[in-house]
Amino acid sequence: MLLRRSLLAALPGLAAPAVTGCRVEDQLSAVAMKSPIPPLRGADLSSVLRAESAGQTYQDRGRRAPVERLLATRGANVVRLRVWVHPSPGDNDLASALVLARRAHRAGLRVLLDLHYSDTWADNAHQTTPAAWADLDTKALAGTVRAYTRDTLRAFAAERIPVDLIQIGNEVTNGMLWPTGRIRDADGEHWEGFLEVLRAGLQGATEGTSSPPRTLVHVDKGGSGAGGVDIRSFYDRLAAARIQFDVMALSYYPFWHGSLAALRSDLTDLATRYRKDVLVVETAYPWKLPAAGEKGPFLVTDTDQLPDGARFPPTPQGQAAFFDALRGVIARVPGGRGLGFLAWEPGWVPGVGWDFEGVNPYSNLTMFDWSGTGLPSLSAFGG
């Protein structure tokens, strides 16, 4: 997810908002989703261990349970887990991902592995090469990426945890592993380094297990409309270079990227143009706006930030209606190539901050209220 780091830098150490929220009857009411259920529906739950260590618990429809089990009961069938190369212990490291993957597998959920190829957050604006790899030339870096991808998958296989899907990088619209794999710079575009490390990661994904996972290449800016110049030019380059992968994955945050109509145009264009499955691998929508006096920061503070805000107001019911409409968009992708959606961090309620700083700008984009009680939008994972 693209983090507005300038926002966090300007507001360090802010306390989490007080626990307020919607009415109990709104929290617990069921929402009948009208749109078809997509093949994949789930969530990124990478922060769950940190939330639990801070004392957070979750409940839904009167049942208290680990969040992955609550989502599975609602019909979710996949969990996405990010992995950094050499982070601080417990901060999106491999050991934490293995713990969460084991729990997800026991709950009946598939695993989508999100490799950032960085020691920290990687997104469209940040792709920092791991410190231990920083001095490698392009060939050596590609070899390291291939081995790292293979060995990471082998770590899951050793625990008998199947990985069904794997992302080779996170929001790589501008490349990854900068500066070697940076596509756009002040003096123009440079694709060679990125294509080499991307190929290496894809090759490693075929070598880590006897049943290789489906591979994803993930860009941001879903919702730019008609494929978008950046999205089209990116995937055109991969096609011209004969890069072999399985799924086109997009981030779609309406407050950054555009309307659902624009997303539908993107998904239709991509599925038709490239004849591949498309997956909304990150999305979120607010269930409330900050009240007067509530400390933030919040990424969404005003209905005007929401291109479909009149249809889907930032309320628990409005959030649920947004996810139902999203399912409808995915169902209408030509050729049945709309694979599904994953909500981003639906359990990241106040109390667990970004980079252990105590700041969480996403707390009104969750699918649980601030007491950890499931919101109506959880119906999006099932019927």
C-alpha distances in Å from residue 214, one per residue of 93, 169, 201, 210: 22, 14, 13, 13
Q: Single out the catalytic residue among 52, 68, 192, 282.
A: 282
C-alpha distances in Å from residue 358, one per residue of 16, 88, 121: 7, 16, 17
Residue with tokens 């011209």: 240
* Dihedral pair phi/psi, residue 262, rounded to 5°: -65, -40
User: What is the chain's Cα-based Rg?
Assistant: 20
Residue with tokens 């006897």: 210
Residues 6 or more apart in contact with residue 146 via CB below 8 angstroms: 200, 201, 203, 204, 207
Supply 152's token pair: 């990471």
Supply 84's token pair: 């950094």
Query: Distance (Å, rounded) from C-alpha 349 to C-alpha 18?
Result: 11
Query: Distance (Å, rounded) from C-alpha 212 to C-alpha 187?
Result: 38
Tell me whether residue 52 is one of the annotated catalytic residues.
Answer: no
Tell me whether residue 171 is one of the annotated catalytic residues.
Answer: yes
Q: Single out the catalytic residue among 68, 171, 196, 345.
A: 171
Active-site residues, by number, are 171, 282
